Chain A
Amino acid sequence: MIEIGRVVVKIAGRDAGCKAIIIDILDDKYVLLDGETRRRKCNILHIEPLNQKIDIKKNASHEEVSNALKELGIVALQTKPKPKTPKPAKKRKTPEQLRVQKEEKRKLRDLFKFKKKEEKVEEKKESTLEEKAGLAEEKKGEEVEIKTKQEKPKTEKKETKKVSAKKTEKKKS
């Protein structure tokens, strides 16, 4: 039953239920099919032969098979080959274009980032200087006061010591 030109039905897989013709016998197990199914090899166990037969060459092309199947009223599967479109080649930018691009980027940076930084720096500087100046003056004043405060008791103590020393001398004498 399995011979070149025999019409068969596929039983298994996604092409199951589709009619095809045996084009070639590859092995004691496998045959080459074409027709309503995709053109591919197939296990003998996965086909059911019918009692129709077509005269066809071994390894016939898909066109021949489709023409032969038209007589039986079977429309062969037509896969549209993808149109070959050339890949879009990358265009390099000219140095002038690159310059323009850089300038635009710089402008954007000026708009958003650079201004903020400047403002912040200026504010900080002003505030810090004033505060520093004020603090420095205050600190100086405080230090002076502290020094005077510290000096005064020391002198008193020294005097007291001196006085006490004098008293002891007097007592000794």
Chain B
Amino acid sequence: MPAPRLRSRSLRKIFRKVPGGRTNVHFKKRKPESAVCGSCGDVLKGTPREFPFRMRGMAKTKKRPERPYGGVLCSRCMRQEIIKKVRQ
């Protein structure tokens, strides 16, 4: 039986095969939720789902697409937004 603090689902279970042949259960912190489009709520492409400490080490160009509203809106919503502005 695992320790009481590990029995909640707040930690991720990882089943690791040990050299002896048994499977051990490792408990790991869950990753943060993936980035989402500000208007439609879709999961954003080109944005990594990583821990903050790992995101800090990454380059700025690896964290979001290089276009206006990159990392905020999805490409479809960005297009609509630009077309709306231009047509006004």
A residues neighboring B (CB under 8 Å): 9, 11-14, 16-17, 48, 50
Q: Is the CB of A11 within 8 A of B66?
A: no
Contacts of A17 in B (CB 8 A): 68, 82
Contacts of A50 in B (CB 8 A): 86
B residues neighboring A (CB under 8 Å): 66-68, 75, 78-79, 82-83, 86
Q: Is the CB of B82 within 8 A of A48?
A: yes
Assembled-state Cα–Cα distance A143/B83 (Å): 111
Distance in angstroms from B24 CB to nearest chain A CB is: 47
Q: How many A-B residue pairs have CB under 8 A?
A: 22
B66, B83, B86 — most chain A CB neighbours (10 Å): B86
Contacts of A11 in B (CB 8 A): 79, 82-83
Assembled-state Cα–Cα distance A49/B74 (Å): 22
Q: Is the CB of B75 within 8 A of A12?
A: yes
Q: Is the CB of A16 within 8 A of B86?
A: no
Assembled-state Cα–Cα distance A11/B85 (Å): 11
Distance in angstroms from B74 CB to nearest chain A CB is: 12
Q: Is the CB of A14 within 8 A of B67?
A: yes
Q: Is the CB of A48 within 8 A of B86?
A: yes
Q: Is the CB of B67 within 8 A of A16?
A: yes
Distance in angstroms from A48 CB to nearest chain B CB is: 5
Q: Write the chain B residue with the least CB distance to A8.
A: B86
Q: Is the CB of A13 within 8 A of B67?
A: yes
Contacts of B83 in A (CB 8 A): 11, 48
Assembled-state Cα–Cα distance A48/B82 (Å): 9
Assembled-state Cα–Cα distance A26/B79 (Å): 24
Q: Write the chain A residue with the least CB distance to B69.
A: A16
Distance in angstroms from A19 CB to nearest chain B CB is: 9
Q: Is the CB of B82 within 8 A of A16?
A: yes
Distance in angstroms from A113 CB to nearest chain B CB is: 43
Q: Write the chain A residue with the least CB distance to B70.
A: A14
Q: Is the CB of A14 within 8 A of B82?
A: no
Contacts of B82 in A (CB 8 A): 9, 11, 16-17, 48
